[in-house]
């Protein structure tokens, strides 16, 4: 039955989607529906909520900011929350990322990064336009983001809009060297502008994990060939992989870094693209044609910046890393029960992110089992949104060991329904 609502929801096929719960409240790791149901947010509402819903310090910062300044054009003006946030971000991100460009979402932070890279080479007098990306990658839904992401069901209708990108094989276990050799060869074959990567784990591409030494080697190869490296830390940043930023585990300093999602603790949309001084300097000129021509009306929203500042302070004043360690340990204990279960394959974890694949014949994002899994979890009061047959958990850091154990009990119960016996 067609919904009477005029709302068109993202990544939703309304012809098969059932009635959607109306969420009226969030608290910690839980959501509350209009009918009184409580739902455990096992995916942090699309990976954005870090400390939990409605964290008191972040909510108070938002309220305080609304008493001072709601919005101002960011071309030709600035404001205290943006200035302080930029300085704090430069201080905590990998050293060498010296300039901060604000935008509104992970997709736009990637779009900005690609434009920065191409502008850098043009203004430096070199015609480098080739972009490299990993197979299976996902970098958002803007034109540039789709172009560097995996081609397929996500972007097939928009193929005429996308630019060509060279693909490197994903560094699967035992085949890491093939990826590194392909990167080195691609850099030798032509003048490459940039490599864009999701460090340590592909997100929407299936929660596929690769080791820090591979990331470090990709950085070394890029540096050897004078190729810019763009780290898309939209999902991996803010503690998800066990460190504040994933690049830390490889000792990698990207030329450009993209950060969003957990930037405000999940409270408000905000993104930043950080870059090296060299990239900024290439655009710094009395020649106005070298201006970095990118903006949105709400660039550096003062209220969103205030939320992000409060989030940074939470990291500095609360035991967030201990919560992450405890959550990672709880995830590991939960996964252990499935490591010898033939109904599952590729049981894996990095930091607070856990994933396992249900052993079905129609694997992949459009696997028929995906909606069935989603429905079974919702019936048990759990927001778990599988990527086809891949079940993954990425809960808020406030989640308790008991809550995580309950989720894994539910995974076992759902598996009995889907694959009985």
Tell me the domain boundaries of the chain.
Answer: 58-317, 319-418
Strands of 298-394 (E only): list them: 344-350, 353-358, 382-383, 390-393
Report phi then psi at 44, rounded to 5: 55, 35
Question: Can you give the pLDDT at residue 365?
Answer: 86
Q: pLDDT of 349-405, one tens digit each?
A: 999 999 999 999 888 888 899 999 999 999 999 999 999 999 999 999 999 999 999
What are the tokens at 11? 């990544």
Closest to 210 in 3D by CA, of 254, 249, 171, 154: 171
Read off the pLDDT of residues 31-59 as tens digits, 9 standing for 90 and up: 999 999 999 999 999 999 999 999 999 99
pLDDT band with cut points at 50, 70 and 90 for residue 18:
confident
Angle between helices 302-317 and 80-92 (to 10 degrees): 40
Span 134-174, pLDDT tens digits: 999 999 999 999 999 999 988 999 999 999 999 999 999 99
User: What is the reported pLDDT for 288?
Assistant: 96
State CA 265 to chain mean position distance: 13
Sequence-separated (6 or more) residues with CB below 8 Å from residue 175? 169
Q: Which fold has domain 319-418?
A: 3.90.1150
Residues 6+ apart with CB under 8 A from 133: 139, 148, 149, 165, 166, 167, 168, 195, 196, 197
Q: Predicted confidence band at 421 (pLDDT cuts at 50, 70, 90)?
A: low
Are 58-317 and 319-418 the same fold in CATH?
no
> Does the 58-317 domain belong in CATH 3.10.580.10?
no
Coil, helix or strand at residue 65: helix
pTM greater than the 0.75 cutoff: yes
Residue in this structure with the two tokens 């191409």, named with its chain if needed: 118
Q: Is the pLDDT of residue 65 over 70?
A: yes
């Amino acid at each position: 039955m067609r919904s009477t609502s005029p709302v068109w929801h993202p990544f939703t096929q309304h012809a098969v989607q059932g009635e959607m719960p109306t969420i009226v409240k969030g608290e910690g790791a839980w959501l509350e529906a209009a009918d009184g149901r409580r739902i455990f947010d096992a995916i942090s509402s699309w990976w954005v909520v870090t400390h939990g819903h409605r964290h008191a310090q972040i909510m108070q910062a938002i309220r305080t900011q609304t008493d001072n300044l709601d919005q101002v054009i960011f071309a030709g003006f600035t404001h205290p929350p943006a200035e302080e946030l930029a300085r704090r971000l430069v201080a905590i991100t990998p050293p060498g990322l010296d300039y901060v460009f604000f935008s509104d979402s992970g997709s736009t932070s990637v779009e900005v990064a690609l434009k920065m890279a191409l502008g850098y080479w043009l203004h430096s007098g070199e015609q480098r336009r080739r972009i490299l990306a990993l197979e299976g990658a996902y970098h958002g839904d803007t034109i540039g983001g789709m172009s560097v992401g995996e081609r397929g069901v996500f972007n097939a209708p928009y193929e005429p809009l996308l630019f060509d990108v060279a693909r490197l094989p994903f560094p699967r276990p035992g085949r890491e060297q093939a990826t590194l050799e392909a990167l080195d060869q691609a850099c030798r074959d032509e003048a490459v502008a940039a490599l864009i990567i999701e460090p340590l784990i592909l997100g929407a591409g299936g929660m596929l994990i690769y080791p820090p030494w591979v990331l470090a080697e990709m950085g070394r190869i890029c540096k050897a060939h004078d190729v810019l490296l763009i780290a898309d830390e939209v999902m991996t940043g803010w503690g998800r992989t066990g460190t504040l930023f994933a690049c830390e585990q490889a000792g990698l300093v990207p030329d450009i870094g993209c950060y969003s999602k957990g930037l405000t603790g999940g409270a408000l949309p905000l993104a930043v693209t950080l870059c090296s001084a060299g990239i900024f300097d290439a655009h710094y000129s009395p020649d106005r044609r070298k201006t970095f021509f990118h903006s949105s009306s709400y660039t550096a929203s003062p209220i969103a910046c205030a939320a992000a500042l409060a989030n940074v302070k939470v990291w500095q004043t609360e035991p967030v890393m201990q919560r992450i360690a405890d959550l990672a340990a709880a995830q590991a204990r939960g996964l252990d029960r499935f490591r010898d279960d033939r109904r599952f394959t590729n049981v894996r974890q990095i930091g607070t992110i856990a994933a396992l694949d249900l052993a079905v014949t129609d694997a992949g994002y459009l696997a028929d089992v995906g909606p069935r899994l989603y429905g079974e979890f919702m019936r048990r009061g759990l927001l778990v949104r599988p990527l086809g047959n891949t079940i993954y958990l990425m809960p808020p850091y406030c989640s308790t060991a008991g809550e995580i154990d309950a989720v894994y009990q539910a995974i076992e119960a759902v598996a009995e329904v889907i694959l009985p016996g």
